[in-house]
Amino acid sequence: MSDTPSKKRQPLYSEADKRNMRWFWQGYLRKHSGKLVLVLVLILVQGLVYQQFLAMTEDGLRVIFESGAMRDLIEVCVVVFLLFAVRGVVSFLAPMITVKISNQAIYEMRRDLIGHLMSLDLAYFERTKSGEILQKLVTQTQQIGVFVGLGVAGALRDAVTVVVVSGYLIWKNPILFVSAIVVLPFIIMVMNFVSDRVKQAQGEAEEALGGYMNGIEETVNGMRTVKIARQEEVEKDRLMRGTDAIRRLMNRVQVTQALILPSIDLSSAFVYVLVIGGGGYMVLSPDYDVDGAGIITFLLGMVMVFDPARLLAQFFGGLQSNLVLLDRVRNLYDQESSIRDAEGAKTAFDTGGDIVLKNVSFSYSPDHPLFEGLNMAFEGGKVSAIVGSTGSGKTTILSLLSRLYDVKGGDITFGGTPIRDLQVAALRGAFSVVAQDIVIFNASIWDNIRYVNPEASDAQVWQAAEDAEIADLIRARGETPVGPKGAQLSGGQKQRIAIARAFLRDAPILLLDEATSALDQATEERIKSALARLTKGKTTIVVAHRLSSIADADRIFVLESGQLVEQGQHAELLAENGLYARLYQAQKKGYDGR
Ligand SMILES: Nc1ncnc2c1ncn2[C@@H]1O[C@H](COP(=O)(O)OP(=O)(O)OP(=O)(O)O)[C@@H](O)[C@H]1O
Domains of the chain: 15-334 (1.20.1560.10), 342-430+509-515+553-594 (3.40.50.300)
Span from the CA of 333 to the centroid of ligand 1 (angstroms) = 29
d(CA 172, CA 222): 70
Span from the CA of 437 to the centroid of ligand 1 (angstroms) = 12
Among candidate residues 295, 263, 267, the one with its CA nearest the CA of residue 281: 295
**pLDDT of residue 442 exceeding 70:** yes
Q: What is the pLDDT of residues 491-550, one digit of tens each?
A: 888 888 998 999 998 899 999 988 777 777 777 777 777 778 788 889 999 998 888 888
Residue 399 Cα: closest atom of ligand 1: 18
Sign of the dihedral through C-alpha 19, 23, 26, 30: negative
Q: What is the pLDDT of residues 56-91, one digit of tens each?
A: 888 888 777 777 677 777 887 888 888 888 888 888
Q: What is the pLDDT of residue 590?
A: 61
Q: Is 544 in the pocket of ligand 1 (CB under 6 A)?
A: no
Contact 25, 17 (CB under 8 A): no
**pLDDT of residue 145 exceeding 70:** yes
Q: What is the ipTM of this complex?
A: 0.97
pTM above 0.80, yes or no: no
560 forms bridges with which residues in the sheet? 563
Q: Is 67 in the pocket of ligand 1 (CB under 6 A)?
A: no
**pLDDT of residue 587 exceeding 70:** yes
Span from the CA of 390 to the centroid of ligand 1 (angstroms) = 8
CA 32 to chain centre: 24
Among candidate residues 326, 261, 323, the one with its CA nearest the CA of residue 12: 323
- By three-state DSSP, how is residue 125 classified? helix
- How would residue 138 be classed by pLDDT, with cut points 50, 70 and 90? very high
Contact 570, 556 (CB under 8 A): yes
Contact 492, 519 (CB under 8 A): yes
Span from the CA of 379 to the centroid of ligand 1 (angstroms) = 24
Contact 150, 98 (CB under 8 A): yes
Strand 509-513 with 431-434, pairing: parallel
Q: Is 10 in the pocket of ligand 1 (CB under 6 A)?
A: no
Instruction: Report the mean per-residue pLDDT for the chain.
Output: 87
Sign of the dihedral through C-alpha 166, 168, 169, 173: positive
Q: Is 394 in the pocket of ligand 1 (CB under 6 A)?
A: yes
d(CA 324, CA 253): 12
Strand 539-543 with 509-513, pairing: parallel
Contact 108, 32 (CB under 8 A): no
Report residue 395: phi and psi, to 5°: -65, -35
Listed in sequence order, the residues at least 6 apart from 3 whose beta carbon sits closer than 8 Å to its beta carbon are: 132, 207, 328, 331
Residue 559 Cα: closest atom of ligand 1: 21
Mutation probe of ligand 1 site: the residue of 364, 365, 390 with most atoms within 8 A of C-beta: 364
Residue 396 Cα: closest atom of ligand 1: 18
Q: What is the pLDDT of residue 140?
A: 93
**DSSP codes joined into one string, 367-412:** TEEEEEEEEEEEPTTSEEEEEESTTSSHHHHHHHHTTSS--SEEEE
Q: What is the pLDDT of residues 194-235, one digit of tens each?
A: 888 888 888 899 889 888 988 998 898 888 888 888 889 999
Q: What is the pLDDT of residues 237-295, one digit of tens each?
A: 999 999 999 999 999 888 888 888 788 888 888 888 888 888 888 888 888 877 888 88
Q: Is 392 in the pocket of ligand 1 (CB under 6 A)?
A: yes
Mutation probe of ligand 1 site: the residue of 396, 511, 543 with most atoms within 8 A of C-beta: 396
CB-CB neighbours of 574 under 10 Å: 15
Residue nearest to atom 18 of ligand 1 (CA): 393
Q: Is 393 in the pocket of ligand 1 (CB under 6 A)?
A: yes
Q: What is the pLDDT of residue 295?
A: 83
Residue nearest to atom 23 of ligand 1 (CA): 391
Span from the CA of 4 to the centroid of ligand 1 (angstroms) = 29
Q: Is 308 in the pocket of ligand 1 (CB under 6 A)?
A: no
d(CA 581, CA 570): 9
Q: What is the pLDDT of residue 526?
A: 74
Residue 122 Cα: closest atom of ligand 1: 1
| Interval 346-365 mean pLDDT | 93
Q: Strands of 171-230 (E only): list them.
A: none
- How would residue 22 be classed by pLDDT, with cut points 50, 70 and 90? very high
Q: Is 563 in the pocket of ligand 1 (CB under 6 A)?
A: no
Q: How many residues does the chain have?
A: 594
Q: Is 396 in the pocket of ligand 1 (CB under 6 A)?
A: yes
**DSSP codes joined into one string, 214-279:** HHHHHHHHTHHHHHHTT-HHHHHHHHHHHHHHHHHHHHHHHHHHHTHHHHHHHHHHHHHHHHHHHH
**pLDDT of residue 593 exceeding 60:** no
Among candidate residues 432, 416, 411, 384, the one with its CA nearest the CA of residue 556: 384
